Structure 1
Amino acid sequence: MSDTDHVVYPPLNTLKPVAQDIWIVDGPAIRFGPPMLKMSFPTRMTVIRLAGNALFVHSPTTLAPQLKTEMDGLGNPAWIVGPNRIHYWWIPEWRNTYPGAAVFLAPRIREQAGDHIDFPTDELKGATGHPWDDAIATLPVAGSYMTEFVFFHRASRTLVLTDLIENFEPERLGYGARWLAWAGGVLDPDGQMPRDMRLTFSRQREELRQAVGTMIGWQPDRVILAHGRWYERDAVEELRRAFRWLMD
């Protein structure tokens, strides 16, 4: 057993149904954070099937052979989405396998990725103008460090976040990582926006408040997170709890 086995959510690299036409895939752990304070993060992607079996692939994890077989049986990956500047690593793997898919990247991914992404892409810019607009609402949430794009699948009433909320379960963490998660404000059952990330919204606090209000106004049933335990129910209550530091 490796030192990351307890962090992830097996089975890995396989589609797990969430609601009609929406799945998650739990991927491998990654190491992330400043030097000397790095910790293991579980990863999670979301797949949404739209009309004509077109697949919306959000924050892709590694494309293991088993997962490729499952994806090919599900539909055709039409859009591969990097929702913020630090969620891009496995995108080239997916683009090489599905060259017909359009790749949409949040601002500053190219700056962050360098030569890792050396192919044409589209940039996520605003709330509308995307090929998935009829089925999925798009919400840009801009901070000084990065812009995260939030998505809401209307038919299943599912909100898809990336790093705006992180929620690490203490029993899956070692003592040091558990302390870091607590100090960062991202320890389950009270996972929130990481405290260091909040600082990057100091000049956009009102815009962030409006964005959270939009998410609550959508009245989602569930919230999928990229890192840690996601919220299968009581989505509005979880949003109000996680952002009480902002909304109260």
Structure 2
Amino acid sequence: MLRAIADDVWAYERDLRLPVGFLPSRATVVRRADGGIIIHSPLAFDDATARAIDALGEVRALVAPSCLHHLFLKAATERWPHASVLGAPGLEKKLRGLRFSPLPRAGVAPEIGDDLAVRRVEGVPYITEHVFLHARSRTLIVTDLLFNVHEVRGFGMKIFLWLGGAWKKTAQDRVWRVLTRDRAATSRSVADILAWDFERVVIAHGDVIDNDAKYRTRAALAWIGGGAALLPPA
């Protein structure tokens, strides 16, 4: 079932089964100004969800925004074979046999159009996350850069998130500190993202952040060091 989040922005949600339990997960659906549909970080979908997406418009692009968010991309390409496919550089090692265009470091991708600006979070090559801005609705779209999980199924997932410092709050999992290889590059990326004009954050795991979104994003990413001076206090 699709859930409306903002003008021309929807989501469908599933629990992703991991070895430690079930992680709430979200795929984001954006309608371009020309009516075309973009599916960001596709999840498993049933026929009813696919029909609901088709009712919004023609699916023009499928996006795997990081090297960790690609598990259901192949199924999405089979359901929407005429859509352009975009992915994070490095995914070619995991998606052998599935052709896709690499997402740009910054700016816009022709296959997506200028409805979504993109900025790669550099310096973390294992993840290579790309963050998007839907300017018309002032919506930031991220995958694992931020978590905001307050409810889960199973005790194991609660412990996993608590150990990562990402349970019941807007936070970045501590694993980013381990995986960051070039903190200066990551800091520059974060500064660019924080300079965008957004009032909500749609994340892949947890509740949508729709109040004090910029302040909470800045606070969660403060350890990286980038962009703090660009923003006023909450």
Question: Does the 8 Å contact 1:30/1:43 carry over to 2?
Answer: no
Cα distance in structure 2, aligned partners of 1:238 and 1:230: 12
For residue 185 of structure 1, what is the aligned residue in structure 2?
Answer: 165
Aligned equivalent of 2:140, options 155, 159, 162? 159
Residue 75 in 1 paired to residue 53 in 2? no
Cα distance in structure 1, aligned partners of 2:12 and 2:42: 9
Aligned equivalent of 1:27, options 4, 9, 14? 14
Question: Does the 8 Å contact 2:24/2:152 carry over to 1?
Answer: no
What SS does the aligned partner of 2:137 have?
coil
What residue identity is the alignment partner of 1:220?
Answer: F
Cα distance in structure 1, aligned partners of 2:222 and 2:168: 15
Cα distance in structure 1, aligned partners of 2:214 and 2:133: 13
Cα distance in structure 2, aligned partners of 1:174 and 1:54: 38
What's the TM-score, normalizing by structure 2? 0.88
Cα distance in structure 2, aligned partners of 1:43 and 1:27: 5
Cα distance in structure 2, aligned partners of 1:180 and 1:26: 20
Cα distance in structure 2, aligned partners of 1:183 and 1:28: 20
Cα distance in structure 2, aligned partners of 1:106 and 1:229: 24
What SS does the aligned partner of 1:232 have?
coil
Aligned equivalent of 1:209, options 161, 175, 187? 187
What SS does the aligned partner of 1:78 have?
strand
For residue 54 of structure 1, what is the aligned residue in structure 2?
Answer: 36
Q: Are the structure 2 counterparts of residues 173 and 198 from structure 1 closer, same or farther at C-alpha, using a change threshold of 3 Å?
A: farther
* C-alpha distance after superposition, 1:45-67 (max 9, x if no partner): 00110132111110011121111
* C-alpha distance after superposition, 1:100-142 (max 9, x if no partner): 101101122221344xxx2322111321351234221100112
Question: Does the 8 Å contact 2:65/2:87 carry over to 1?
Answer: yes
For residue 8 of structure 1, what is the aligned residue in structure 2?
Answer: none
Cα distance in structure 2, aligned partners of 1:178 and 1:208: 28
For residue 138 of structure 1, what is the aligned residue in structure 2?
Answer: 118
What SS does the aligned partner of 2:81 have?
coil
What SS does the aligned partner of 2:5 have?
strand
What residue identity is the alignment partner of 1:123?
Answer: P
* Greater Cα shift, 58-67 or 149-158: 58-67
Question: Does the 8 Å contact 1:127/1:137 carry over to 2?
Answer: yes
For residue 101 of structure 1, what is the aligned residue in structure 2?
Answer: 83
After TM superposition, the runs of 4+ consecutive aligned structure 1 residues lying more than 3 A away are 173-176
For residue 223 of structure 1, what is the aligned residue in structure 2?
Answer: 201
Cα distance in structure 2, aligned partners of 1:209 and 1:101: 33
Q: Which has the higher contact order (CA 8 A, sep 6+)?
A: 2
Cα distance in structure 2, aligned partners of 1:63 and 1:110: 23
For residue 148 of structure 1, what is the aligned residue in structure 2?
Answer: 129
For residue 119 of structure 1, what is the aligned residue in structure 2?
Answer: 98
What's the TM-score, normalizing by structure 1? 0.84
RMSD: 1.8
Gaps of 5+ in 1: 1-13, 33-37
* C-alpha distance after superposition, 1:135-168 (max 9, x if no partner): 2110011213221010000100000000111222
CA shift, 1:236, in A, is 0.6
What SS does the aligned partner of 1:172 have?
coil
Aligned pairs, number: 224
Question: Does the 8 Å contact 1:126/1:140 carry over to 2?
Answer: yes
What SS does the aligned partner of 2:77 have?
helix
Cα distance in structure 1, aligned partners of 2:80 and 2:154: 38
